[in-house]
């Protein structure tokens, strides 16, 4: 093996890679926030909503979970202009990632709600709590505590899956790496550095969710 590693050109372009990594993190954080909101509202709708709402949410969840993210992204970026809605690559990526993540978050949070002992809900009804009060005071905290590990893993997958948005010219980490590879002709070195950056982001996210679980849920205890 005569291959000689040459990281000089890649390290000179490290600011560009870090800018791509920053966009990846920003997209992921925004997707996480939107996904949690969709997940909470959607899970509540599937568990406590009227039949039409439950049916609509079921269609949404099953459609997103059973189609490729790339197709969903193409529908948003290439399909919506046919209807007169033109989005920038970054906005199309953010909307696509959020819509995709929200469907998975709904099912994860719903599983947390299902794990709540039925007796807790019956006690709330026996105390004449309204549905919204049962959701607020009895359901949300234990459901989110149960769902947090799975949500954390899902959000890491969202971050890693953000590489797909490079196909619509969103200049996140993978897209910048590809550009550098075409400029330097050093693919091995480029993607080694890109891999290191993805691993660093993933471990930072895992540490963040571990901290949230410890300081917000474990220290507060549960029902």
At 173, list the tokens: 């980490």
Q: Where are the beta strands (DSSP E) in 8-162?
A: none
Contact between 201 and 25 (Cβ < 8 Å): yes
What pLDDT is attached to residue 177?
94
What pLDDT is attached to residue 28?
96
Residue 12 CA to residue 120 CA, distance in Å, equals 59
What pLDDT is attached to residue 222?
46
Which residue's structure tokens are 């607020």?
Answer: 136
What pLDDT is attached to residue 5?
83
Residue 137 CA to residue 114 CA, distance in Å, equals 16
Residue 222 CA to residue 150 CA, distance in Å, equals 18
Q: What is the pLDDT along the chain (223 residues), one digit of tens a residue?
A: 677 888 888 889 999 999 999 999 999 999 999 999 999 999 999 999 999 999 999 999 999 999 999 999 999 999 999 999 999 999 999 999 999 999 999 999 999 999 888 888 888 888 778 888 888 878 888 889 889 999 999 999 999 999 999 999 888 999 999 999 999 888 999 999 999 999 999 999 999 999 988 887 776 554 4
What pLDDT is attached to residue 221?
54
What pLDDT is attached to residue 123?
82
At 100, list the tokens: 């995709």
pTM: 0.90
Question: What is the enclosing helix (H) or strand (E) of 80?
Answer: none
What pLDDT is attached to residue 163?
93
What Rg do the C-alpha atoms of the chain give, in angstroms? Answer: 21
Name all domains of the chain by residue range, CATH numbers in brackets: 12-218 (1.10.3720.10)
Residue 92 CA to residue 174 CA, distance in Å, equals 17
Residue 182 CA to residue 136 CA, distance in Å, equals 53
Q: Considering Cα of 115, then 118, then 122, then 125, what sign does the dihedral take?
A: positive
Nearest one of 56, 105, 54, 97 to 76, comparing CA atoms: 97
Burial grade of 16 (CB within 10 A; 0-12, 13-18, 19 or more): middle
């Amino acid at each position: 093996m005569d291959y000689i590693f040459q990281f000089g050109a890649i390290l000179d372009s490290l600011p560009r890679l870090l800018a791509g990594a920053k966009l990846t993190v920003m997209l992921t954080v925004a997707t996480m926030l939107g996904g949690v909101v969709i997940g909470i509202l959607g899970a509540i709708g599937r568990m406590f909503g009227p039949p039409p709402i439950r049916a609509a949410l079921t269609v949404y969840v099953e459609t997103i979970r059973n189609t490729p993210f790339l197709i969903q992204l193409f529908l948003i970026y290439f399909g919506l202009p046919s209807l007169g809605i033109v989005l920038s690559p970054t906005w199309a990526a953010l909307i696509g990632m959020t819509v995709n993540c929200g469907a998975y978050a709904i099912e994860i949070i719903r599983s947390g709600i299902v794990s709540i002992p039925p007796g807790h809900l019956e006690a709330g009804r026996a105390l004449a709590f309204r549905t919204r009060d049962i959701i607020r005071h009895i359901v949300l905290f234990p459901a989110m505590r149960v769902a947090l590990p799975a949500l954390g893993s899902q959000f890491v997958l969202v971050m890693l899956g953000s590489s797909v948005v490079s196909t619509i010219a969103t200049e996140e980490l993978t897209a910048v790496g590809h550009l550098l590879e075409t400029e330097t002709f050093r693919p091995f070195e480029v993607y080694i550095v890109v891999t290191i950056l993805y691993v660093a982001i993933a471990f930072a996210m895992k540490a963040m969710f571990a901290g949230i679980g410890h300081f917000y849920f474990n220290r507060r205890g549960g029902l």
